[in-house]
Chain A
Amino acid sequence: MHLTKMDIKGFGCFQSRVFAPGSGLNIVYGENEAGKSTLMGFVRAMLYGLRGGRRLKDGSLSPLKKYSPWHSGLYAGVLEYALDNGEAYRIGRNFEKNHVHIQNQYAEDIGATFSIDPEVGILFAQAHLGVNENAFMQTLYLMQQHQSPDEQGRRHLMDRLLQIQDAGSDEKTFLKAEEALRKALLERVGSDRSTVRPIDKIAERMKILHIEKGELLEDCAATRALALQLQQTRNRLAESRREKNRLFQKRTLYGEQVAKYTFFTTSRKQKETKNRLAQLAENKAFLFREKAVLAISLADRKVLSDIAPEDVAGLPFHMGRVRELKRTLLTLQQETDSHHAILQDLKGRLPENPLWQDSDKTDAVLQAFLLAKEKGNDSLERGHIAAVTGNRPGAKGRIALIVLGLALLVLVSAQALGLATWIRTMGPFTFAAIVLNVLTGLVAFGFISLASFQMVQIFLSKRRQKSREFQQPLLDTNPELLKQWESARKNMAVLLSDLRMKDVQAFLQSKRAVDTLFRQVSDEECSIALLTEKSKQIQDEIQALSKHLADLLRRADIVPFAEPVSNRSAEKGLKVSAGSGGTIAVEVAGQRSPQELPGVAKVSKTEEQSMLTGSAAMANFFDSSEDEAKARLFQMRLDEYREDVQVDKEMAEKLLHMEEETTFFEKNLQELSDSLLQSLSEASPWQNSLSVAQEDNAVLDVGPEEMADESMETLARQASEARQQGLSLQKDIEGIEEQLSTLQTTEATLMARLERMPSEERLQQIVEETDRLATQKQALERYGESLRTAQKILEAAAKEIRQGLSPKLGEVAGNILASITGGRYRKVVPGETLQLSVEVVERETMPLVSELSSGTRDQIWLSVRLAAVQLLEQNGEKLPVFLDEPFAQYDDKRLKNTMDWLAAFAQKRQVFLFTSRYHDVEMLQTHYNGQYTLIALSETNKAG
């Protein structure tokens, strides 16, 4: 292959430059910065393209920027070359647009026929030159100051040398394969130093999972421990509950014994209370009935309630007063009657002439007559007046007579009665009869004495009255008086005439008699009136007192007059009857048997008789004994009433008390019933045990009411013991309940903690993921192991080849070096990585290249590179070689030797020698004598 044309449209310092190199040696001359390296860069860029992007690692510009045209215009060029087989190609590139056109000699675009590297582009150069860019740079492209390649360069060079051993694809290179394996190992597996590769990620993930799994395992262990603790707690809880139940059952048994005792005692109490209540109810009913009767009685006698105490106290006095008044009234009536008799007698003796009746007229006539007459005789008047106003004896006498009669009557009756009694009895009452007769005798003597005294008084009174009636009047002779006299006389005469009196004397006598009669009548009437008035007053007083007394008595249901009590009582449905022993029985209508009224005072039969027989009472009304009886009866009734009121109050209090008692007992009964109900509510186990206990305990075979006291005592003792044991058990129960509470709290706490524990599913997931990752890791490790095995074997294979290739390279390079050095260095020994050693004539050992002078190093590496080019060309094209100032450090002899060798080398391939020194150009021109092509980069010093 050789380049035929380099048409630079714009590239670095070049613009619109066209170079036509020769097929052999080309001397490219240019001063510094004339563009030698740019031209070399152009060839490389046209063949392999330019990499763009950012700056390189050393800070230099990327090639694309580095070679951008200095002047505006196209950043492009055309390279034409011909292969050894004659095929010609034209490469056109626009670096700016990154376009490349590959045309064959028929101007056909054949770009699609080549492989494409995403980074490099169309790989036509590799196809035509047989070397990639790196090999090109390390072998064909020998830059100034870079004749000794670096390690990478050496590796690439060796890789290209290895490649020439394979007849297969050009793509097959050891380095590429090694890189692919390394890359696969790094990217798909990872290395010891990697941190983000798959195996690292897996290892990291497994590490995290391992930690998490450890924590979860701890959690699971804690969960199991909790669960175990919970179960143990529950077991203890169950045990405690069983213990509690056992204690409860035991306590229940004890409680049942207590309950039995309580039941029995309560039943008893209930029974007693019921009985008590029944008794109370009976008593209450009885008391109610009594109280009802009493209430009726009290209602009947309600009037008694208004009786004032002074009325009660004054009752005997008033009764005595009434009696006295009535006696007085009787006396007055008797007197009045006697006066009436006298009056009647007197009236019988009064003249029939009515004029006599008209005492006023007669008196007036007489008065006038007497007045006239009296003018001289006052005696008449005096006599007249005395006659008119004289006393009227007679009443006292009658009274005395009555008293006398009464005395006699009393005397006779008492004597007769006392005598009769004395005679009849002749017993123990004889003395009493004698005393009675004596007493009655004395009373009769008193009465007789009183009557005699009255009689003497009456006799003396009549004698004084008779002497006043017979006094005579005196007359005067005065005319006036006479006239008066005459008138009076006429009137007198008329009167006398009317009266058929003979004279005045007669008249006077008659009149005196009549006046006396009239006076007597008047006196009698006056006495009668006085007596009547007195009687009336007494009657009024009696009536008032009687009324008062009657009122009082009536209030006491005592008939003041003949009014039987029984009748009135009967009207009210009461039947009062005398009981034995002087008690009074009251039979209430509707009741079977009469009830004796407690507290009612006994009444004697006499008093009873007196009370019940109104007629007898009437007869004895004025009898003091009856009054006393009535008063006593009244007092008794009153007392009785008051007692009844008191009794009523007491009964009410008693009823109230009974009511309270009933309430108390009812409440007690209710409590007992409740207690029994409570017992019954707890009775289910108790009744069961009761039936069991009944079999064991005869005490329970009988009911509580029938149970003997001894059995109850036994039961009480058992209950007491059971109560004590129950109390003791209660402590145990409280203890176990406390324990239960604690355990329940613990259980709840444990359950809560258990609930909060993380799910085991996460652990399963972690285990699964860990297993999966472990499998992946294992697979990756196996994969990595395979990759490493591949690398190792491939490396071994390459080494084996290299070991076979190195002698060839050393041989060819030694030949070149011997030509350059004039035989001083004949043998070059390349190592596996092109570590070069050379055989020096005067030294036994083979020093490394690095130990030699820089000029010799350049010469050795030039030899090796050119040897490599020759080896690379074995199966392909003869490649162009670009040498940039290669001889800078050569001495003249070795320079000449090298130019001689290059002349021969350039016979078979294209060689570009770049130099900036014109002296070198002249020397080369002289040495090659026209067998070269000069390419002058500077327009000014362009050479032919």
Chain B
Amino acid sequence: MKTVKFIHAADFHLDAAFCGGRAGYGAIRRADMRQAFQKTVSLALAEEVDFLFLCGDLYEHSSVARNTIAFVVRELSRLTHTQVFLLSGNHDPLLKDAWYFSVPWPEHVHLLQSQGALPGQIFLNEDNIFVVGVGFSAFTQGRPDFSTLPAPVPGTFNVLLYHGSLNAPEGDPHNATTTEELRSTGYDYVAMGHYHTPQIVPGNPIIAYAGSPEPLGFDEPGIHGVLMGEAETGEKGYTVNVRLKPLATREYIEKTLDITALLDEDAVKVAIAACLETMDPNRYLPHIRLVGMPLEPPHMEPLTDYFLADWLLFRLSDDTMPPVGWMESLPPDSLTGVFLRMVSEEMKQVENQPALDDAARQEAVQCLYQARQMALEALAYGTVHFLPELP
């Protein structure tokens, strides 16, 4: 019985652009990304893993800096006892001028490059491993042809590196595939990249997304890292076990705060501060969603600026609604009454419009809420306090 150890990582997105946050947010986050890569290599060294699978989107093709590529090469050069397999993703496709071709990779680093219709494949006899990679040679690619996928090599640890969407809707332009297709390949392990949230699809073989080692946005909450795996030979081939090894420096987190009946802006500040109290500013990147019916609409811009001073990234969104009582107190034939009635009718119309998807519906409803908010302010005060929620 022989056991091999490996690390499965993907979607580092080195030198990606980051929006929002205080000054230097992008640079800090890019440094975080680098650090995540460095941590991955250090982990491989510490754990003495046999293989490191990097399943695409290692860097951003258009914006990656030369020194970042040099950093990657330098870091990978530290791994003298680990075979490294590189797969290109839709953000770092193997274009003619891809950085993958422009740097001298160490001997133990293997770039999986497709040859015509054949996917990239590498067989290392000494290490008894056969790795096939389905990556990107353009920014978008349709469904790959699985008939060209080579058959697994018996008695060898067969690994399929795959960058693309799994069980995605029809028309997905990113190497869309299905669980069944991947299972039918007969490989011992399918190492996926593209989805930034780690997920392990149990079964045989295990299909796993390592996720992005460092989350890239508020839509990637939770723990992020790399997958540590072990493959053990048995009578029926290799048995693979993987587990998530957290590596991320930061974590995006979203909290909802009800500010109904809060008297003024200071009260809202206090409420937000209390909500953030338990979070470490060096780790968390919070998003506070204000809901409820405050006596007066929150002034988003000053509030955001106030908290952004203490946080690398702070997002505040207003999902509050005007007080219902005020609306009900107005005569129905007055201008305000007629206006509110009309808004309500519009909302109902939007909500009942079947052609709209959820997002569009939500967008339209939000727009009507804001319109109502601003018109009421205009009627009441002759001015509009509600400000656009600008990042």
Contact = CB atoms under 8 A, between A and B. Distances in A.
A231 interface: yes
A180 B101 contact: no
B330 interface: yes
Interface string A156-196: 00000011011111011110111111011000110000000
A789 B378 contact: no
Interface in B341-372: 341-343, 346, 363, 366-372
Interface in B93-119: 96-99, 101-104
A691 interface: no
B107 to A, nearest CB: 13
Contacts of B391: 772, 775-776, 779
Contacts of B66: 223, 227, 754, 760
A793 B336 CA distance: 10
B148 interface: no
Given A224-B97, A772-B19, A790-B374, A763 B379 contact: no
Nearest to B64: A760
Contacts of A759: 65
A804 B331 CA distance: 15
B335 A785 contact: no
A160 to B, nearest CB: 12
Contact of B338 (A167, A763, A785, A800): A800
Interface stretch (B169-177, B191-199, B304-312, B382-390): B382-390
B304 to A, nearest CB: 12
A162 B342 CA distance: 17
B377 interface: yes
Contacts of A794: 335, 339, 375, 378-379
Q: Name which of A169, A172, A174, A794 has the most chain B CB atoms within 10 A of its CB.
A: A794
A177 B330 CA distance: 16
Contacts of B104: 231, 234
A780 B386 CA distance: 12
Given A180-B383, A764-B30, A801 B64 contact: no
B65 A785 contact: no
Contact of A763 (B62, B69, B367, B384): B62
A172 B330 CA distance: 12
Contact of B374 (A167, A173, A764, A787): A787
B382 A780 contact: no
B145 to A, nearest CB: 28
B147 interface: no
Contacts of A789: 346, 367-368, 370-371
A212 interface: no
Contacts of A166: 330-331, 334-336
Per DSSP, chain A at the interface is helix
Interface in B36-71: 62-66, 68-69
B226 to A, nearest CB: 24
Interface in A754-790: 754, 759-761, 763-765, 767-768, 771-772, 775-776, 779-780, 782-783, 785-790
Nearest to B379: A177
Nearest to A181: B378
B72 to A, nearest CB: 13
Interface string A223-260: 11101101100100000000000000000000000000
A787 to B, nearest CB: 6
Contacts of A763: 62-63
B374 A181 contact: yes
Interface string A800-815: 1100100000000000
A783 B377 CA distance: 14
B384 A181 contact: yes
B20 interface: yes
Interface string A336-369: 0000000000000000000000000000000000
A169 B375 contact: no
A846 interface: no
Contacts of A177: 335, 375, 378-379, 382
Contacts of A224: 97-99, 102
B102 A775 contact: no
A786 B378 CA distance: 13
Given A172-B335, A181-B374, A763-B63, A188 B387 contact: yes
A616 interface: no
Contacts of A189: 388
Contact of B339 (A183, A234, A767, A797): A797
A178 B378 contact: yes
A277 interface: no
A220 interface: yes
Q: Name which of A172, A174, A179 has the most chain B CB atoms within 10 A of its CB.
A: A172
B380 A786 contact: no
Contacts of B389: 779, 783
Q: Name which of A166, A172, A783, A786 has the most chain B CB atoms within 10 A of its CB.
A: A786
Contacts of A227: 66, 69, 97, 99, 102-103
Contacts of A801: 333-335, 338
A794 B17 CA distance: 41
Interface residues of B, number: 60
Contacts of B69: 227
Contacts of A234: 104
B18 interface: yes
B15 interface: yes
Contact of B384 (A165, A184, A768): A184
Interface in B1-53: 15-20, 26-27, 30
A569 B320 CA distance: 146
Q: Name which of A176, A189, A217, A783 has the most chain B CB atoms within 10 A of its CB.
A: A783
Nearest to A225: B97
A292 interface: no
A798 interface: yes
Given A177-B382, A768-B26, A783-B388, A228 B363 contact: no
A221 interface: yes
Given A166-B335, A180-B384, A771-B19, A761 B65 contact: yes
Contacts of A772: 19-20, 391
Nearest to A189: B388
A796 interface: yes
Nearest to A774: B19
A754 B383 CA distance: 55
B136 to A, nearest CB: 16
Contacts of A793: 339, 342-343, 346, 371-372, 375
A550 to B, nearest CB: 106
Interface string B216-251: 000000000000000000000000000000000000
A833 to B, nearest CB: 16
Nearest to A231: B102
A782 B363 contact: yes
Given A184-B374, A760-B66, A790-B375, A797 B335 contact: yes
A184 B381 CA distance: 13
Nearest to B101: A228
Contacts of A796: 342
Contact of B367 (A162, A760, A782, A804): A782
Given A176-B378, A188-B387, A768-B26, A165 B65 contact: no
Contacts of A785: 367
B221 to A, nearest CB: 19
B18 A768 contact: yes
Nearest to B380: A172
24 contacts: A171-B380, A173-B379, A174-B335, A179-B382, A181-B374, A221-B97, A231-B101, A754-B66, A760-B15, A760-B68, A764-B26, A764-B65, A767-B63, A775-B391, A783-B370, A785-B367, A789-B367, A790-B374, A790-B375, A790-B378, A793-B339, A793-B343, A793-B371, A794-B375
Given A760-B68, A797-B341, 14 more contacts: A172-B379, A176-B378, A224-B98, A231-B102, A761-B27, A764-B16, A775-B391, A782-B363, A785-B367, A786-B370, A789-B368, A797-B342, A798-B335, A801-B338
Give the top 9 A-B pairs by smallest Cβ distance, nearest first: A786-B370, A767-B17, A180-B378, A789-B371, A783-B388, A790-B375, A177-B378, A227-B102, A790-B371
